[in-house]
Amino acid sequence: MSAIGRIGFLGGGKIAQAMAKGFIAGGLTKASNIIASVHPSDKVSFESFKSLGAETITENSPVVKGSDVIFISVKPAVVPSVLEGVKEISANKLFISVAMGITLNTLEGNLPETSRVIRVMPNTPALVKAGCSVFVRGAKANDSDANITQKLLESIGTCEEVTENLLDPITALSGSGPAYVFVMIEALADGAVRMGIPRDMAYRLASQTVLGSGQLVRDSKVHPGQLKDDVCSPAGSTAAGLKYLENNGFRASVAGAVEAATSRCKEISGN
């Protein structure tokens, strides 16, 4: 058994698979230390999770009973009923919820008083150990729980502790953000294909460009506006491309997506 102990997932869908695969690939734990439950009708995530080599079942209780750390990775709407079903066996357990918009208050209110809860917002690049996660401690979570959470999340990318009031906009930024970036990569490639570049080469160059640009912002700590200016030669092609983006509301669209996604999180959380 790894130092982390057995890891359970209530819900074995996309994000659970990304995290579990990252934990295994990062050497943090073995597939044999992981167990997940899925909805009995969900053959797709049953097969996908099972293919990681981890035990995959259609009941929630064995996941809680047999795990030291239990991820809550079902859709927000079913979190209360799933917790209701395992409440009796959840005393003194550590739960880590990734459910969008489900507050610590709701999570703790649906579990026994002695359960410890941490809220996390991960993202799917965890699959390739390039995830971006944040976490918030619940009232009963102790330093050891925070350390375990940090260790788990750092094995699949970056991780920082935040306060709960930031979780909805963080969900909209880094939780949902990969989807915005994938659309951008697809759009870059579509434009390139129209200009005669082969499709596979277009994806390769577009994805490396996004990866390198993110890395440059992160590692150089230079303001992104300055880095943008550095690409724009006077009267050059980039300035022409940027003018097109500005005329078509690119900045407002991207910023607006973060605002719209935050509003949706707030609808779910009732804030």
Ligand X SMILES: NC(=O)C1=CN([C@@H]2O[C@H](COP(=O)(O)OP(=O)(O)OC[C@H]3O[C@@H](n4cnc5c(N)ncnc54)[C@H](O)[C@@H]3O)[C@@H](O)[C@H]2O)C=CC1
Ligand Y SMILES: O=C(O)[C@@H]1CCC=N1
Residue from 8, 12, 138, 177 touching ligand X (CB under 6 A): that is 12
Coil, helix or strand at residue 183: helix
Question: Which residue do the tokens 């150089």 mark?
Answer: 220
Q: What is the torsion angle, in degrees rounded to the nearest 10, for the CA atoms of residue 163, residue 20, residue 115 and residue 85?
A: 120
Task: Please state the φ and ψ torsions of residue 47, each to the nearest 5 degrees.
Answer: -65, -40
Q: Strands of 55-57's sheet, edge to edge?
A: 55-57, 34-37, 7-10, 69-72, 94-97, 116-121, 131-137, 157-161
By beta-carbon proximity to ligand X, the closer residue of 100 and 156 is: 100
**Under the criterion CB under 6 A, does residue 100 sit at the interface with ligand Y?**
yes
**Nearest CB to ligand X, comparing residues 110 and 202:** 110
- The answer to whether 79 contacts ligand Y (rule: CB under 6 A) is no
Q: Which is nearer to ligand Y, 157 or 175 (CB)?
A: 175
Pairing status of strand 55-57 against strand 34-37? parallel
DSSP annotation of 164: G
Question: What are residue 188's phi and psi, to 5 degrees?
Answer: -60, -45
Integer Cα distance of 17 and 34 in angstroms: 11
Smaller CB separation from ligand Y, 15 or 148 = 15
By the rule CB under 6 A, 22 interacts with ligand X? no
Residue 42 near ligand X by CB under 6 A? yes
- Whether the Cβ atoms of residue 2 and residue 28 lie closer than 8 Å to each other: yes
Task: Please pick, from the candidates 171, 206, 258, 262, the single residue that binds ligand Y as defined by CB under 6 A.
Answer: 171
Site string for ligand X, 114-153 (x = CB under 6 A): -------xxxx-----------------------------
Work out how close the CB of 198 gets to ligand Y at its nearest, in angstroms, rounded to a whole number. 32
CA dist., res. 22 & res. 29, Å (int): 10
Q: Does 157 bind ligand Y (CB under 6 A)?
A: no
| Choices 109-117, 169-177, 209-217, 220-228; region in contact with ligand Y by CB under 6 A | 169-177
Q: Given candidates 60, 103, 149, 155, which one binds ligand X under the rule CB under 6 A?
A: 60
Enumerate binding residues for ligand Y (CB under 6 A): 100, 171, 175-176
Enumerate binding residues for ligand X (CB under 6 A): 10-16, 37-39, 42, 45, 60, 73-76, 78, 82, 98-100, 121-124, 175
